[in-house]
Structure 1
Amino acid sequence: MPPRETKRAELPLSRASPAGVVEGYASLFGVGDSGGDIVMAGAFARSIAKRGPKGVKMLWQHDAAQPIGVWTSLVEDAKGLKVAGRLDLSVARAREALSLVSSGAVDGLSIGFRTKRATTDMASGLRRLQEVDLWEISIVTFPMLPQARIDAVKRTTRPLHEIQLLRLKAKEAALRFQRKLDQCGAHTPF
């Protein structure tokens, strides 16, 4: 059985929501990485069909002992492997990851896989990965493919505690209004 490998791509994870939703490109097609590999279009198709997003683990820095969330979408488009996932904010490391991603301190994505089919160009030494068995995608500090980055960390316009406070104030205002109606003898039609 071929050994497990990892490839890090550097496209920024620039948006993450307070709910921990992250998006980005975990790999780009036709772009050489610092390890001398080029992932070809279609390389992930069979693996995605076989495993689906739930079968590909979301890890912190390729550490199998540190799962930090789940991938909800894995799609090959014309550019590469576009991914979306959700950090599990009940896990301390995931909360730390969200903070680091949100601040821009960490924004890399990296794939962990087994090579199924590849060719090597003898002149350049570059290996073209035509099919890989994708088993994990990690949020990393230093991706091997400089362009593989988180490009989305979705945010709400207000922090959750502010939204909850606004809801509470709206409920209180509705209760005050109802009390005034009751004091005036007005009846609500419902």
Structure 2
Amino acid sequence: MQIRGYASRFHEVDDGGDCVHRGAFLRSLVRRPTQDIKMLWQHDPSRPIGRWTSIREDSQGLFVQGEILDAVAQGREAAHLIAAGVLNGLSIGFKARKARRDPHTGCRDVLAVDLWEVSLVTFPLLRSARLDSSD
């Protein structure tokens, strides 16, 4: 099953208080090839469920495209949940390389990250980080 969507959106505060800024992923995407950024189930490193074929920054955020592997039991389950409209969340696993706390809002402005995985999740911290349902 092919999937795509936004794993992160710029200038939106997530439920953890992070606000990712445009350009935050650029260096990481140059240093780490797409095939090295893992597709996981619910951020569990013992449960990869597919592979990302394209990851890029655009004007809205971090756009991802990938393939869920149906040879993996969890991949089959995820594909069925996506097809049924039950699962549509995306979430990023990263280490902040450059960030600052906004003294007015208390939010953490994330300016540079080391991205290592993008997961399919039930409840994304960034509520707008979703699969594209137009397919």
TM-score by length of 2: 0.97
Change over 3 Å in CA distance of 1:153–1:61 after alignment to 2:
farther
Gaps of 5+ in 2: none
Count residues in correspondence.
135
Q: CA deviation at 1:123?
A: 2.2
2: distance between equivalents of 1:143 and 1:153?
19
**Matching residue of 1:140:** 121
RMSD over aligned CA atoms reads 1.0
* C-alpha contact (below 8 Å) 1:33/1:144 kept by paired residues: yes
Letter in 1 for 2:102: D
2: distance between equivalents of 1:140 and 1:128?
23
**Matching residue of 2:78:** 97
Encode CA deviations 1:144-185: one digit per residue, 9 max, x unaligned: 00000001475xxxxxxxxxxxxxxxxxxxxxxxxxxxxxxx
**Matching residue of 1:125:** 106
**1:111 pairs with 2:92:** yes
Indicate the SS of the match to 1:42: coil
Q: Percent identity, please.
A: 49
Indicate the SS of the match to 1:146: coil
Change over 3 Å in CA distance of 1:152–1:85 after alignment to 2:
farther
Gaps of 5+ in 1: 1-19, 155-190
1: distance between equivalents of 2:133 and 2:35?
20
Encode CA deviations 1:109-137: one digit per residue, 9 max, x unaligned: 00000010001112211110000000000
Q: Hey, which of these two has a bigger chunk of helix by percent?
A: 1
TM-score by length of 1: 0.69
Change over 3 Å in CA distance of 1:53–1:152 after alignment to 2:
farther
